[in-house]
Amino acid sequence: MAERLRDDRYLGAGGAGDLALELYAGVAELPILSPHGHVDVELLSRPDARLPPPGQLFVTSDHYVTRLLYAHGVPLAELGVGQEEPDDRAVWDSFTGRLDLFAGTPVALWLRETLAAVFNLDPRVDASTYDALAGRLASPEFAPRALLDRFRIETIATTDPAGSTLAEHRSLHEQGLGGRVRPTFRPDAVVALDAPGWRGALAALEEVSGREIGDYDGFVEALAERRAAFKELGATATDHSTTAVWTERMSHAEASAAFATALAGDVGESAARRFEAHMLNELARMSVDDGLVMQLHLGSLRDHDRPLAARFGPDIGGDIPVAADWTRGLRPVLEAYGAEPAFGLIAYTLDETVYSRELAPLAGHYPALRLGSPWWFHDSPNGIVRFLDRVTETAGVAKLAGFVDDARNFTAIPVRHDLWRRRCCGWLARQVEAGIVEPGDAPRLAHDLAYGLAKRAYRL
């Protein structure tokens, strides 16, 4: 195992290897801040919860894995997707029998790292891996609550719909874990007036708010109340995702009319998109009021493959990035609130071309804006370096928001942070070697990238 997972792996630092290792040693053991991700809160709220078995944990519920297997013609059913009681070992074998397809992708890297670092197994999958994994996953040592400590997770945020009752978070609060596990307010489902699930999401919001939402004003009030409830249970951030990058405000009359039309059941797509843009602006205004940091995950075309999405539901139909105009798209919200000291805005993009063209220049001007770490497809060894190379010269390291792991698989969290830390340290060492970064600045920058920036950006 020692031979396979070298100490200097992922540093990719060429001649600057010693410095990279030194920088990495200074941050490797820092606590983890995980202010954005998709871990199921129930895993954390119930002390006796266990992670699912290997097939479900590493395959069925990880769309990094299912998408690429599907792309090679493997039927989703064979991967457990949409199955009531899949044969978990068969699901695992479907994946691990095709690891060749993942060579060079972060999926392969995360898997071997997780096996070795988290499960203390040989990183090379063989016939014994499944049983060993399954055994550990069922043991108390691998209960999520135990892992929370073992992983040194200082704080972790889940992502929760606006209409969530937050029952689990309330329970965590009562168990004294309120500051450690935090909810994140994500109102997308109630904001997208034309989405199939809109009415259901609105009903949940009404239910949890204990009020009927009969018009736009009531809607906005309900959102503000829910934000307060989230905040009370430890939330420091909200999260928002739209395909378009558009934040233009409607007049109050227009917004009210659009909402009324939706309630009446016949809102059109264009009104729905305008309302979505308007609500990003309105939700920013609320952030100025309550101090919740606003995360934007923009530019993903959800459910690209509509026939597949129709059969298997969201997150399976392929979310594919599109180009967008961040410069003009964020202008309304930045002109309005970009200099408000109480406002924090963190931008995540799937379009690497806007790193240097738009996002770094914008973050290099507006006080409220910080740049989120590489998202999704770009949260990879080479993607991380492209990000750092393209944004830091214009925006400086100090305008970044650190790292979020965005993980669904709880056991992947330490591995993702470790990869980020290693890549950052390798990159820093090369910048020092080239004379761009001062040697004396590097340890501080490494610490910031690993820990400090996220702490400040997310107000933890």
Query: Which residue among 30, 46, 83, 105 contacts a copy of itself (CB under 8 A)?
Result: 105
Query: Which residue among 58, 70, 403, 458 contacts a copy of itself (CB under 8 A)?
Result: 70
Q: Segment 320-339, which members bind a copy of itself (CB under 8 A)?
A: 320-323, 325, 327-328, 331, 334-335, 338-339
CA 128, distance to chain mean position in Å, is 32
Q: Which of 103, 158, 121, 96 has the alpha carbon at shortest distance from 5?
A: 121
Q: Does 315 bind a copy of itself (CB under 8 A)?
A: no
Q: Segment 222-261, which members bind a copy of itself (CB under 8 A)?
A: none
Alpha helix positions (H), 182-251: 188-191, 198-209, 216-232
Residue 408 contacts by C-beta under 8 Å, 6 or more apart in sequence? Answer: 37, 38, 39, 61, 62, 63
The DSSP secondary structure of 270-306, one letter per residue, reads: HHHHHHHHHHHHHHHHHHHHH-PEEEEEE-EETTSSH
What minimum distance in Å lies between the beta carbon of 291 and a copy of itself? 15
What minimum distance in Å lies between the beta carbon of 430 and a copy of itself? 8
Site of tokens 């799937």: 350
Query: Which residue among 188, 239, 358, 405 contacts a copy of itself (CB under 8 A)?
Result: 358
Query: Which residue among 108, 134, 189, 224 contacts a copy of itself (CB under 8 A)?
Result: 108
Query: Which residue among 85, 100, 149, 269 contacts a copy of itself (CB under 8 A)?
Result: 100
What minimum distance in Å lies between the beta carbon of 364 and a copy of itself? 5
What minimum distance in Å lies between the beta carbon of 344 and a copy of itself? 12
What minimum distance in Å lies between the beta carbon of 109 and a copy of itself? 7
What is the rounded CA–CA span in Å between residue 426 and residue 17? 7
Q: Does 67 bind a copy of itself (CB under 8 A)?
A: yes
Q: Which of 296, 425, 426 has the alpha carbon at shortest distance from 362?
A: 296
What is the rounded CA–CA span in Å between residue 338 and residue 363? 10
CB count within 10 Å of CB 239 equals 21
Q: Which is nearer to a copy of itself, 233 or 424 (by Cβ)?
A: 424
- Describe the chain by its helix, strand, coil percentages, rounded to 5: 55, 10, 35
Q: Which is nearer to a copy of itself, 144 or 338 (by Cβ)?
A: 338
What is the rounded CA–CA span in Å between residue 321 and residue 308? 18
Stretch that binds a copy of itself, among 131-139, 166-174, 280-288, 319-327 (CB under 8 A): 319-327
Q: Segment 413-432, which members bind a copy of itself (CB under 8 A)?
A: 430-431
What minimum distance in Å lies between the beta carbon of 345 and a copy of itself? 12
Query: Which residue among 318, 408, 443, 456 contacts a copy of itself (CB under 8 A)?
Result: 318
Q: Segment 9-28, which members bind a copy of itself (CB under 8 A)?
A: 9-12, 14-15
Q: Segment 435-454, which members bind a copy of itself (CB under 8 A)?
A: 435-438, 441, 444-445
Task: Name the DSSP letter for residue 366.
Answer: -
Stretch that binds a copy of itself, among 150-158, 280-288, 299-307, 403-411 (CB under 8 A): 299-307
What minimum distance in Å lies between the beta carbon of 445 and a copy of itself? 6
Query: Which residue among 28, 68, 117, 134 contacts a copy of itself (CB under 8 A)?
Result: 68
Residue 163 burial by Cβ neighbours in a 10 Å radius (0-12, 13-18, 19+): buried
CB contact burial 269-307 (16+ within 10 A = b; e otherwise): eebbbbbbbbbbbbbbbbbbeebbbbbbbbbbebbeeee
Size of the residue set binding a copy of itself (CB under 8 A)? 91
Stretch that binds a copy of itself, among 78-86, 89-97, 198-206, 302-310 (CB under 8 A): 302-310
| Residue 237 near residue 296, CB atoms below 8 Å | no
Q: Which is nearer to a copy of itself, 49 or 301 (by Cβ)?
A: 301
User: Is residue 261 classed as helix, strand or coil in its secondary structure?
Assistant: helix
What minimum distance in Å lies between the beta carbon of 105 and a copy of itself? 5
Query: Which residue among 46, 433, 443, 456 contacts a copy of itself (CB under 8 A)?
Result: 433
Q: Which is nearer to a copy of itself, 273 or 365 (by Cβ)?
A: 365
Phi, psi of 69, deg, nearest 5: -70, -45
Q: Segment 259-288, which members bind a copy of itself (CB under 8 A)?
A: none
Binding mask 363-402 for a copy of itself (x = CB under 8 A): xxxxx-x-------xx-xxxx--x--xx-xxxxxxxx---
Site of tokens 């029998």: 97
Q: Segment 140-159, which members bind a copy of itself (CB under 8 A)?
A: none
What is the rounded CA–CA span in Å between residue 239 and residue 423? 26
What minimum distance in Å lies between the beta carbon of 440 and a copy of itself? 9
Query: Which is it for strands 300-301 and 320-321: parallel, antiparallel or unpaired?
Result: antiparallel
User: Is residue 34 classed as helix, strand or coil in its secondary structure?
Assistant: strand
Q: Which is nearer to a copy of itself, 13 or 193 (by Cβ)?
A: 13
Query: Which residue among 24, 92, 95, 102 contacts a copy of itself (CB under 8 A)?
Result: 102
Which residues share a beta bridge with 237? Answer: 293
